[in-house]
Amino acid sequence: MTKKYHAANSRRFLRLRVDYLVKYKIPGMLGEPYVSNLSDLSEGGLRFWSDKGLPEGSLLQTSVLLAPADREIRALGRVVRVRPARGGHFDYVAVSFLELSQDDQSAIRDFVEYISHTESARELLDQPGVIQRKIEAAHV
């Protein structure tokens, strides 16, 4: 069965559904960043899932490796929306970029447009070596 992919384009920037890892932490937080899976990415922000209870309005330092482009994107963003996922074990967190270099913004735009408009390029995202973090349901 062939998978159909398309970018969700209901916002200001073209968004691409991706299944990459994102690292994030609250600025000034000590220790290692949290790691989770992206849901989508655009030059204006990203969406991922989290079990950390992030409140809307929180500032986050984010980092995403665009593996096919061999480029790490770093940005400061603000949590603009938190919505519970089905089952309620984690939330989908939408982050709007506040500080993103022009080079990184261009890299995201070029990446999203290329993947969205080139059917064969989608194979760059469907690599079996991509690691996903899984959240296990808490046993009550």
CATH number where 27 lies: 2.40.10.220
Give residue 63's pLDDT.
96
Residue 1 lies in a domain: no
Cβ atoms of 15 and 7 within 8 Å: the answer is yes
Is pLDDT larger for residue 85 or for residue 120?
Answer: 85
Pairing of strands 59-66, 71-84: antiparallel
Give residue 135's pLDDT.
46
Residue 129 lies in a domain: no
Residue 92 has pLDDT above 70, yes or no: yes
Structure tokens at 132: 């996903």
Residue 92 lies in a domain: yes
Nearest to 39 by CA among 104, 91, 116, 76: 91
* Host H or E run for residue 93: strand 91-99
Give residue 119's pLDDT.
66
Residue 4 has pLDDT above 90, yes or no: no
Give residue 87's pLDDT.
79
Nearest to 89 by CA among 133, 46, 139: 139
* Host H or E run for residue 115: helix 102-117
Give the pLDDT mean for 106-128. 72
How remote is the C-alpha of 99 from its chain's centroid? 16
Share above pLDDT 70 across residues of the chain, in percent, rounded to a whole number = 75
Number of domains in the chain: 1
Structural domain for 106, as ranges: 16-124
Residue 28 lies in a domain: yes
Give the pLDDT mean for 92-110. 94
81: three-class secondary structure by DSSP: strand
Residue 118 lies in a domain: yes
Residue 60 lies in a domain: yes
Residue 133 lies in a domain: no
Residue 9 lies in a domain: no
Q: What is the pTM of this model?
A: 0.75
